[in-house]
Amino acid sequence: MPIARSNPVVRAIFLALIAFATTVPACHAPSLLITPVSGRRQLEETELSRDTLFARHKIALIDISGTIQNAETGFFLSPGDNPVSLLLEQLDVARRDSAVKAVILRINSPGGTVVASELMHDEITHFRKTTGKPVVAVMMDLAASGGYYVACACDEIVAQSSTVTGSIGVIMLMFDVTGTMNLIGIKSDAITSGPFKDAGSPFRAMKPEEREWFQKIVLDMYDRFVKVVAAGRPKLDEAVVRKLADGRVYTANQALEVGLIDRIATLRDTVDVLKKRTNSTAVRLIAYQRPYDYRPNYYAAAPFGLPPWSPSAPATANVNLLNISLPSSLLPRAPQFLYLWAPGY
């Protein structure tokens, strides 16, 4: 076949599919459909629900799931999206559509990198200012650290009754493997242009002056986080936020009591509130997805950009008590500054 001879990789995949199809027992063999598909990747609108046949107004549902990072999240044979880029792409579609009257930002994330969280926050803030369309954050299982940071850009923050949120703070993850290196007789010897050039290296113990400098950087980023929360929660002044921002997580009831969220409600309740807020008697709840993704309702997640706890997601490292997984691609080879809840790291 010409397509198989044209590329060794394509040929190998093609032969593997043939082998799979011919070796699975016939009585339990699944259907295997090979069909040409378009390479078009532009977002398409999918209707998740409709109040009435003639509903014109729309509410867009946009997901932020898994670890927040400014990098592609794909894995072998599955193209992935950069979460920051995907969010901006979805907001741009909602911005251009006059029928979209509001956006629900559904967050299920333990957080992620500092810069990626800030970028998402900035894009949501810009969307609200330029369109006047309300954006409501709806927290699911977990919206901690960077996930809460992003939520603070919204007009309102809503949590499910069993949501865990908070973890306001910054963590810098580093390793020290000098003990293991000594056991196997390996020594690192770096030549640097300055005394701080290899600061944070896992191949030697950290010097006191290096720890002091990194602590200043972490506290500077922490101050930024506190100011963002104070700006997003106008009923809380900065002093109160600092008391709450010691890294701990809160249940939905606790978060409501201290003012970190506005309401405890379901996604369906939130849609009803937005209908009243936008003077819409009937709406269509829509989402944006890549071609060939299937989403039958608003509980379904798109295949691309799978949250790490999805059964179809790639292998990950379990990093905390709630079984929230950190993708192996984010495990730092060098120090990283993170808005991330990872107590078991």
168-200 per-position pLDDT tens digit: 999 888 888 888 888 888 888 888 888 888 888
Tell me the average pLDDT of the chain: 80
Q: Please say if 276 is a catalytic residue.
A: no
Asked whether residue 319 carries a pLDDT value surpassing 50, the answer given is no
Q: Are 111 and 334 in contact (CB under 8 A)?
A: no
Q: Please say if 145 is a catalytic residue.
A: yes
Q: What is the pLDDT of residue 95?
A: 96
Q: What is the pLDDT of residue 314?
A: 40
The pLDDT confidence band at residue 18, using thresholds 50, 70 and 90, is low
Minimum mean pLDDT among 154-158, 205-209, 309-313: which range? 309-313
What is the rounded distance in angstroms from the CA atom of residue 238 to the CA atom of residue 241?
5
**Closest C-alpha to 122, from 67, 156, 96, 84:** 84
Instruction: Write down the catalytic residue from 197, 207, 216, 227.
Output: 197
Instruction: Write down the catalytic residue from 109, 117, 145, 325.
Output: 145
**How many Cβ atoms from other residues are within 10 Å of residue 263's Cβ?**
15
Average pLDDT over residues 236-252: 95
**Closest C-alpha to 283, from 48, 54, 46, 57:** 57
CATH code given to domain 41-340: 3.90.226.10
